[in-house]
Structure 1
Amino acid sequence: MSTHLLKSQRTPYVRNEEIQQNWILVDAENQTLGRLASLIAYRIQGKHRVDQSFHQTVGDFVVVINAGKISVTGNKMDQKIYYHHSRYPGGLRETTLADKMDRDPAFALETAVKRMLPKGPRGRKMALQLKIYAGAEHPHQAQKPTPVVLNENKQ
């Protein structure tokens, strides 16, 4: 059996020093929460790249603006419930999506994306590549994020 492989059959390996991570800018205004979160998680994991590998963090840095203007389908603003437990007896608290959006507009999108990332140290490192802001201003102009339309909302 021959061990010689064609160049196209070899698994690409990029050293950590050679990884080029881009900065992208996503406008979340009028975007559906779950659909946008899945596309952001896809970019953060680097699954859009040819040289993606499961043991490295090769995904892009994603800056999301206008997270406070995100939309959801149906009656999820009133019916979707987030649970939190204080670890004391009887300490289960529940909050609707509308209440969470009033207090922290970035919470829903950040939670949705983090839950779509892998669990463990690699997933926690990937979660640091996500920057979410409720308004249109962000402090990452120095990185020159490229505006990307991840999802055309057909309304």
Structure 2
Amino acid sequence: MSSARRVQQWVTFGRMWYLFDAKWQNPFDASTKIVKVLSGSHKPIYHNDIDCGDHVVVINSAQIALPGDEWERRVFYHHTGYAQGASWTLAHQVHEKDKTMVFRRAIYHALDTSLLRHARMCRLHIYPDEEVPEEILRNVSAQLRQMRAVPKRLDHYTEDEVKNFPKLFEWPKDYVLET
């Protein structure tokens, strides 16, 4: 068997580690992409009953973005198990307590409700910022693309970029903007 074939089999059967930057990403849209990697459905050997998924390291989960007023509309349900133990918490309150919980719950609910759900969630590593332990970062071998581009803030543009930015029309030199 050739060495290229062995490498191909190792990539197929081995567990890869992927890095996903959650900065300015909607966790409920990104969860569909991450669930494919956690469950292994992106591999040619995928089967529902086989646990062949990969690890995913999510960074910057403190900087997620929800569209519109979803921070105030989205509610997370929890029950203690006791009578009248139900509670509903708004997304922004959950995010203030734990910066990784909104992303974790989005992926948890996107996974299939099978006995493999717990094992797949154990391969998910979420960090609120870019500080990841070295022993985990050492394993990362690929990166998942973001769903949407991170916008650049206006104060991060240089003077030259602002001056050379294409303009629809030029103001006359003697024009004074009245306030």
Q: TM-score, normalised by structure 2?
A: 0.71
Q: Establish whether residue 135 from structure 1 lines up as the match of residue 129 from structure 2.
A: yes
* Aligned partner letter, 1:27: D
Distance 1:58 1:49 in 2: 8
What's the counterpart of residue 149 of structure 2?
153
Aligned residues: 139
- Among 23, 48, 53, the alignment partner of 1:29 is 23
Distance 1:86 1:42 in 2: 31
Instruction: Indicate how the Cα distance of structure 1 residues 59 and 144 shifts in structure 2: closer, same or farther if over 3 A, else same.
Output: same
Distance 2:36 2:66 in 1: 20
SS in 1 for 2:148: coil
Tell me if structure 2 keeps the 8 A contact 1:24–1:147: yes
Q: Establish whether residue 86 from structure 1 lines up as the match of residue 80 from structure 2.
A: yes
**Pairwise CA distance, 1:154:** 7.6
Tell me if structure 1 keeps the 8 A contact 2:24–2:150: no
What's the counterpart of residue 97 of structure 1?
91
**Pairwise CA distance, 1:83:** 1.6
Distance 1:53 1:70 in 2: 32
SS in 2 for 1:94: strand
Distance 2:47 2:95 in 1: 35
SS in 2 for 1:121: coil
* Aligned partner letter, 2:99: P
**Pairwise CA distance, 1:86:** 2.2
* Aligned partner letter, 1:144: V
Distance 2:47 2:39 in 1: 9
Distance 1:86 1:112 in 2: 20
Distance 1:72 1:152 in 2: 12
Distance 1:109 1:137 in 2: 17
Tell me if structure 2 keeps the 8 A contact 1:61–1:129: yes
- Larger deviation, residues 49-58 vs 33-42: 49-58
Larger Rg: 2
Distance 1:48 1:86 in 2: 37
Tell me if structure 1 keeps the 8 A contact 2:22–2:146: no
% identical aligned pairs:
22
- Among 85, 107, 110, the alignment partner of 1:113 is 107
Q: Return 5+ residue gaps in structure 2 as ranges.
A: 1-8, 152-179
Q: Return 5+ residue gaps in structure 1 as ranges.
A: 1-14
Tell me if structure 2 keeps the 8 A contact 1:39–1:150: no
* Aligned partner letter, 1:148: L
Give per-residue Cα distances to partners, 1:74-122, cap 9 Å, x unaligned.
2110111112122333222111000000000111111111112122321
